[in-house]
Amino acid sequence: MAAEAQTIAELSRALKARDTTAEVVLERCLQRITERNGTLNAFITVFEHEARAQAREADREIAAGKYRGPLHGVPISIKDLFDVRGSATTAASRVRQDHVADADAPSIAALRQAGAVFIGKTNLHEFAFGTTNEDSAYGPARHPLDPNRSPGGSSGGSAASVADGMCYASMGTDTGGSIRIPSAACGLVGLKPTIGELSTEGVVPLSTTLDHIGPLCRSVEDAAILYDVLRGGSARPPGKPIDLRALKLAIPRDYFLSVLDPQVASAFDSACARLRDAGATLDDVAIPHAGDVAAIYLHIVLTEAAAYHAKTLERRSEDYTPNVRIRLEMGRYVLGEDYARALRGRELIRREVDAALDGVDGLFLPALAIPAPKIGVPIVRVGATEEPVRNVMLRCTQAFNVSGHPAITLPCGSTTEGLTTEGLPLGAQIIGIYQDTAGLLQVARAVESVVAARAENYLGPGRSR
């Protein structure tokens, strides 16, 4: 039954065949938002009126034979960092509450052209400067499976909206992991293409040389559909998955797997075993200076964020949330020579990741070292040590913002349902060849067929816990 479609691919087939209508699908999503947004705080703004008009138009066009492709009539949410014409881009900050965008960001324009229905703007960590979504002028977004926990961040509202069945996909941004972290925490697929591949114009920046945009969705096939549209082409049917027996993956074990929650480690080991059982080859590989990544990342992101916010910090510091304000202020003290050192280190990391990918189809590692953390808890126990939540959440992802390689996370679990003993999803991550996001998606489809458990993670109408 079309109304129960879980993915864009499934829904689009039903819409094209007119087994359901965009209006029916949208009303189910709006109903879900009415029921659940009070708990999850996923949305800052819901475009009820505009979305209904878009859905009606989509139905008219499809009925008239003017089918635009697999996003036509599909409800999508947008992180409130993207400009959508005629609406505020708040960045979850009081600093921007009076802002109104006069044009769509190019990425949003591409989705609009493809017939997507914009259901609303989602909550985030203020100015995308955090991994938990706790610091937002609109209050924290909450995890669909446990509202006492963070959905991850900074695209936390986006992940919650997709995982809870309020929409079929969301547009997010990723500067250190802000698409992949919440996707992993909420059991979704999250794609960060190669740096610079998709325009960040019309998106409030955090760090201009580290920022990426990309989708959060429920399957690799859906990620490919969205990626194609965002690239500016008409969406094409995804290609045939590559043969698992020919798949070669490398595991950058030393740094990335050295600080992992035991359940994450177990789930990842289980995923590796399943891939090997299916015929894939997995070997360890070194990224010799991975241990320098956190320092490199910190000096770049702090400097670039401070440059963007300095003037506003002088005039309206009280309009920032306290934690974000103080971290932005920290960036104003980084010396130019240290920023330059970080840029040199960045080039080294890029080359080391390239080298690690030599002769293999991708790197394979966890996406998030811990399950979704509890809200308001700044320190988390990871195995035998205690770590700051922010540091440990960035540990598996930020290296690939520094290097710029394309990366994707997908659900992976050690149990049949792919959940921890607390019922939380876990994520694996694949890193692709530089400037070959399409190749990464092919690899991810093959891996997904073995390790993912997306159907069990997705809540959706009628599945709430």
Closest approach, Cβ 125 to another protein, in A, equals: 17
Asked if 353 interacts with another protein (CB under 8 A), we say: no
Judged by CB under 8 A, does residue 276 bind another protein? no
β 385-388/169-174 pair status = unpaired
Among 196, 288, 378, 462, contact with another protein (rule: CB under 8 A): 288
Report phi then psi at 408, rounded to 5: -140, 140
The single residue among 49, 240, 311, 344 that binds another protein, judged by CB under 8 A, is 344
Long-range Cβ pairs for the range 18-24 (8 Å, 24+): 18/62, 18/63, 21/55, 21/59, 21/73, 22/54, 22/55, 22/56, 22/58, 22/59, 22/62, 22/72, 22/73, 22/74, 22/117, 23/52, 23/55, 23/56, 23/59
**One residue of 103, 326, 377, 379 binding another protein per CB under 8 A:** 326
Q: Is 192 a catalytic residue?
A: no
Give the residue, chosen from 23, 27, 61, 338, that forms a contact with another protein under the rule CB under 8 A: 338
Nearer to another protein, 103 or 295 (CB): 295
Closest CA to 136 of 122, 153, 120, 124: 124
Instruction: Assess 355 for contact with another protein (CB under 8 A).
Output: yes
The least CB distance from residue 45 to another protein, in Å, is: 32
Q: Is there binding between residue 352 and another protein (CB under 8 A)?
A: yes
Torsion sign across C-alpha atoms 69, 70, 75, 81: negative
Q: Which tokens belong to 28? A: 């189910």
Q: Is 250 in the site for another protein (CB under 8 A)?
A: yes
286 forms part of the interface with another protein (CB under 8 A): yes
CA atoms of 158 and 43, how far apart (whole Å): 8
Q: Annotated catalytic, 234? A: no
Q: Least distance from C-beta 343 to another protein, angstroms?
A: 11
Tell me if 363 contacts another protein by CB under 8 A.
Answer: no
In the complex with another protein, the residue whose CB is nearer, 52 or 289, is: 289
Query: How many residues make up the chain in this entry?
Result: 465
Nearest residue to 282 (alpha-carbon basis) of 365, 222, 344 = 365
In whole angstroms, the minimum distance from the beta carbon of 97 to another protein comes to: 24
Is 62 buried (19+), middle (13-18) or exposed (0-12) by CB count in 10 A?
buried
10 touches another protein by CB under 8 A: no
Tell me which of 1, 311, 358, 465 binds another protein, using CB under 8 A: 358
By beta-carbon proximity to another protein, the closer residue of 103 and 326 is: 326
Of 153-161, 229-237, 329-337, 428-436, which segment contacts another protein by CB under 8 A? 329-337
Of 12, 77, 79, 87, which is the active-site residue?
A: 79
Instruction: Select which of 77, 107, 161, 178 is catalytic.
Output: 178
Is residue 343 close enough to count as binding another protein by CB under 8 A? Answer: no
Cβ–Cβ under 8 Å, residues 32 and 40: no
Regarding 292 and contact with another protein (CB under 8 A), the answer is yes
Is 219 a residue of the active site? no
Distances (CA, A) of 48 to 74, 249, 294, 430: 14, 44, 41, 36
Please report whether residue 327 would count as binding another protein according to CB under 8 A: yes
| CA distance readout (Å), 137 to 35, 126, 149, 321, 435 | 22, 7, 18, 7, 36
404 contacts another protein (rule: CB under 8 A) = no
Per the rule left: phi > 0, alpha: psi between -120 and 50, beta: everything else, 196 is left
Q: HSE of 57 in the Cβ direction (CA atoms, 13 Å)?
A: 15
**Catalytic positions, please?**
79, 154, 178
Q: Which residues bind another protein (CB under 8 A)?
A: 250, 283-289, 292, 294-296, 298-299, 302, 322, 326-327, 329-330, 333-335, 338, 341-342, 344-345, 348, 351-352, 355-356, 358
